[in-house]
Amino acid sequence: MEKRSAFERVTLARHPDRPGTEEYIRALFTDFFEQRGDRLFGDDPAILGGIALFHGRPVTVIGQRKGHTRQEKMHCSFGMPNPEGYRKAQRLMRQAEKFGRPVITFVDTPGAYPGLEAEARGQGEAIAQSLAAMSRLRVPIITLIIGEGGSGGALALAMGNTVLMLENAIYSVLSPEGFASILWKDSSRAQEASEAMRLTARDLLELGVIDRVLPEPEEGAQADPQAVYRTVDEALSQALRAADRIASPTDHRRRRYLEMGRRLVGQERG
């Protein structure tokens, strides 16, 4: 499994034919009803969300959408959400809580959109409020990292009680290009950065950031999407069954995220 380099996984995670949120929703759920708009400003096509049935059970499903054709990609800003996308997600999550539906999130984004209007409308505040909304949510959240988990723009949908990750997906503090450009002032060293960042599913499992790695076909998810849907379907069913046994999803999530990195904390005398 580890014979593939981190950079090869980065390439696979970004493969144009890799199944995205739309495909997973179509394959795993029935009666999907898309909910649009944040009721404040607009509707962001880079975040797709709504109500659906998962094996007959109502759930709220939300994920970043990248699009496949050139036109779709432009329309979805290549999967980089704007503030209204995150605010739509918050609205859907709160509604899920009202109706007692579990929330299932699919993460696949290079990051939040770094544009002038996005900043004017409070990109940072929107992501922060998403984190706050997830930390307060009284229904379980199951997160699946299916492609690229880039930065705060990914985390804003990724605070699951359980976080599952596909074998060739990546999840990192910044894109390898951004990392190389900040730390080495050279974005062309992305390959080197990929190896240094510990962004593969295996690494993240070791670091306690995710709970489970889901295997992909040898050539990657795009080679046999049906097989991946079966794997994800099974893992999701299992995760939902486990989530049903959690007495307080809020407390469970709180413990999970307050624990992040605690193993590394030490004391030094001045």
Contacts with another protein, residue ranges (CB under 8 A): 112-116, 118-125, 127-129, 131-132, 135-136, 151-152, 155-156, 159, 171-174, 178-179, 182-183, 196-199, 203-204, 207, 209, 253-254, 257-258, 260-270
User: What's the closest the beta carbon of residue 216 comes to another protein, in angstroms?
Assistant: 20
User: What's the closest the beta carbon of residue 157 comes to another protein, in angstroms?
Assistant: 12
User: What's the closest the beta carbon of residue 270 comes to another protein, in angstroms?
Assistant: 6
Q: How far apart are CA 156 and CA 96, in angstroms?
A: 17
Write the CA distances from 184 to 165, 177, 195, integer angstroms.
Answer: 29, 10, 14
Which is it for the CA torsion 178, 9, 258, 251, positive or negative? Answer: positive
Q: Which is nearer to another protein, 31 or 119 (CB)?
A: 119
Residues 6+ apart with CB under 8 A from 72: none
Matching residue, tokens 């998403």: 130
Q: Which is nearer to another protein, 37 or 208 (CB)?
A: 208
Matching residue, tokens 């990609």: 73
Q: How far apart are CA 2 and CA 22, in angstroms?
A: 29
User: What's the closest the beta carbon of residue 106 comes to another protein, in angstroms?
Assistant: 18
Q: Which is nearer to another protein, 25 or 169 (CB)?
A: 169
User: What's the closest the beta carbon of residue 237 comes to another protein, in angstroms?
Assistant: 26
Residues 6+ apart with CB under 8 A from 71: none
Q: Which is nearer to another protein, 20 or 178 (CB)?
A: 178
User: What's the closest the beta carbon of residue 5 comes to another protein, in angstroms?
Assistant: 16
User: What's the closest the beta carbon of residue 57 comes to another protein, in angstroms?
Assistant: 27
Q: Which is nearer to another protein, 147 or 152 (CB)?
A: 152
Q: How far apart are CA 145 and CA 63, in angstroms?
A: 10
Alpha carbons within 13 A on the beta-carbon side of 217: 14
Matching residue, tokens 């909304």: 133
Helix, strand or coil for residue 229? Answer: helix
Q: Is 36 exposed, middle or buried (0-12, 13-18, 19+ CB in 10 A)?
A: middle
Read off the DSSP letter of residue 172: E
| 47 φ/ψ angles, rounded to the nearest 5 degrees | -125, 125
Q: Which is nearer to another protein, 32 or 41 (CB)?
A: 41
Q: Which is nearer to another protein, 27 or 173 (CB)?
A: 173
